[in-house]
Amino acid sequence: MHGGLQDPLIELQQRQLGREFNDALVESIDETIIDLLGRAVLDALYAHLQTNYSISRDEVPYRLDTLLTTLEKIFGVRSSQTITKAIAKKFHLKLGLEFTGNPSHTLLEYVDEAKMKVQNSPSK
């Protein structure tokens, strides 16, 4: 490797992994909210994020803090914790990871934990 440049194949695999990771996260959010609250609530949530924060569905993985704040404002802290724990559980399942619930974890912490597990797991 020259000058610390990364192998293009490894870089491509990491970008693909990132895309799959984010897709799994958005699917987990969608499916969990639909399962718990219905399609209309999911649509209203995305409309709210777009209107108030200019966040599209595809940008949600990069703005989880805003999603969490929005869920807390709409549903309250305790209910939003239940929702985000369900999202995290579904997300771990989609990634083939074991889920261990932690009452003090936020969705951000669960996602960071999953990212570390995926990055440290041997390639399939």
Report if residue 50 sits inside a domain. Answer: yes
Of residues 85 and 13, more confidently modeled: 85
Domains in the chain: how many in total?
Answer: 1
Report if residue 52 sits inside a domain. Answer: yes
How buried is residue 15: exposed, middle or buried, by Cβ count under 10 Å (0-12/13-18/19+)? exposed
CA–CA distance, 104 with 32 (Å, rounded to integer): 20
Query: How much is the pTM?
Result: 0.84
Burial 80-113 (b: 16+ CB within 10 A, else e): bbebbbbbbbbbbebbeeebeeeeebbbeebbeb
Report if residue 1 sits inside a domain. Answer: no
Task: State pLDDT tens for residues 38-89.
Answer: 999 999 999 999 999 999 999 999 999 999 999 999 999 999 999 999 999 9
Report if residue 97 sits inside a domain. Answer: yes
Report if residue 21 sits inside a domain. Answer: yes
Of residues 121 and 11, more confidently modeled: 121
The CATH code of the domain that includes 103 is 1.10.1200.200
pLDDT category of residue 121 using cuts at 50, 70 and 90:
confident
